[in-house]
Chains A and B, each alone.
Chain A
Amino acid sequence: MSKPQALPPSQFKQQLTEAIPHLRAFGRSLSGDRDVADDLVQDTLLKAWAARDRFIAGTSMRAWTFVILRNTFFSSMRRKKFTANYDELVAERVLSAPAPQQEPLHLADLQRGLMELSDDQREAIILVGAGGYSYEEAADIANCAVGTMKSRVSRARKTLENILEEGRFTSASEGHDRLTATALQNIIGEVEKIST
């Protein structure tokens, strides 16, 4: 059996660089916070670079790094390093043009709605609904069955719809008084540990 071919460092770095905007978008949707997301991305870049000999040429760099980012996020959530939040800086940004006689959908509401979902459902709807991944690709990234991914997306859509229609937000999406200083310090410490 032949050994999978690794990419030369320059090509690896180029592909890694091209994945960064997507990593930022995925991380921000997942965490709901710009700074936390960018720290997640930095963490992911370091881990990907350290493990670059395990990346198989010809496979998707974006999907590979998404797995690293989501594993980092969820393992950190388990250790309470990251706290889900939403980004107040975008509170006034309007996402979609209003349909006739309808209120526009605000990014802040959408982000708060996402934070109301379970981690699994949030990840699913971000990958499929926002990132444009197929159910199969999203299932690979989330390490679950395709049927499970479909079910998560479906439930996430229904839940989000109900939340946004009814404005039914709970404390799950109110993270302003928690976050970021402590979490960021922890992340920075972790990144420094990795890079030394």
Chain B
Amino acid sequence: MASRDENKTGSSKNGETEEQSKDMPVKSKDDMQQRLGLGLKNMYLNVLDEPLPDDILALLDQLDADDEDDSDSARSDVDE
């Protein structure tokens, strides 16, 4: 086994160890999966960092006033 520093989180834990003899494909595959994972997390975190839009804040303020609201569609989606 040659240098494996870049594969610490890679395919060995997925039971694909034998296939790692093909150096380049595995390296690039692991690297792609790492970039993919990082990209997905960043995509999600970017949204978390955004301020809430005014219309959502306004809706939150209205919730207390709409205490009597009890629609059928709300119930069905919660139940599904």
On A, residues with C-beta under 8 Å from B are: 9, 13, 16-17, 20-22, 24-26, 28-29, 38, 41-42, 45-51, 54, 67-68, 71-72, 75, 93, 95-96, 99, 102, 105, 107, 110-111, 125-126, 129-132, 143, 157, 160-161, 164-165, 190, 193-195
- Chain A contacts for B53, CB-based, 8 A: 38
C-alpha gap A42/B74 in the complex (Å): 12
Using an 8 Å CB-CB cutoff, how does the interface string of B47-71 with A read, 1 for contact, 0 for none?
A: 1101011011001101110110111
A9 & B50 in contact (Cβ 8 Å cutoff): no
Bound complex: CA A143 to CA B77 (Å) = 13
Is the contact region of chain B dominated by helix, strand, or loop, or is it mixed? helix
- Determine whether the beta carbon of B71 is less than 8 Å from that of A107: no
> Provided the pairs A24-B50, A102-B31 are in contact, do residues A45 and B43 lie with their beta carbons within 8 angstroms?
no
Residue numbers in A under 8 Å from B46 (CB-CB): 93, 107
29 contacts between A and B (CB under 8 A): A13-B60, A17-B60, A20-B52, A20-B56, A20-B60, A22-B48, A24-B47, A24-B48, A25-B45, A28-B47, A38-B55, A47-B73, A47-B74, A47-B78, A51-B75, A95-B42, A99-B31, A105-B36, A111-B43, A125-B40, A126-B40, A126-B44, A129-B37, A157-B36, A194-B69, A194-B71, A194-B73, A195-B62, A195-B66
- The reply to whether A38 and B73 contact each other, CB–CB distance below 8 Å, is no
B78 is contacted by which of A68, A96, A111, A194 (Cβ under 8 Å)? Answer: A68
B15-54 near A? 1/0 per residue, CB < 8 Å = 0000000000000010111011111111111111010110
Interface contacts beyond A28-B47, A107-B46: sample of 8 additional A-B pairs, CB < 8 Å, sorted by A: A25-B45, A25-B47, A38-B56, A45-B63, A47-B78, A49-B66, A50-B75, A130-B43
| B5 CB–A CB distance under 8 Å | no
Measured between beta carbons, the chain B residues less than 8 angstroms from A129 are 36-37, 40-41
Q: Are B77 and A72 interface neighbours, CB within 8 A? A: yes
Residues of B within 8 A of A (CB): 29, 31-33, 35-48, 50, 52-53, 55-56, 59-60, 62-64, 66-67, 69-71, 73-75, 77-78, 80
Instruction: Determine the chain B residues whose CB is within 8 A of the CB of A68 once the complex forms.
Output: 77-78
Majority secondary structure of chain A interface residues (helix, strand, loop or mixed): helix
Interchain CB contact under 8 A, B77 and A75? yes
Task: Name the A residues within 8 Å of B39 (CB-CB).
Answer: 95-96, 105, 107, 110
CA distance A100 to B7 in the complex (A): 15
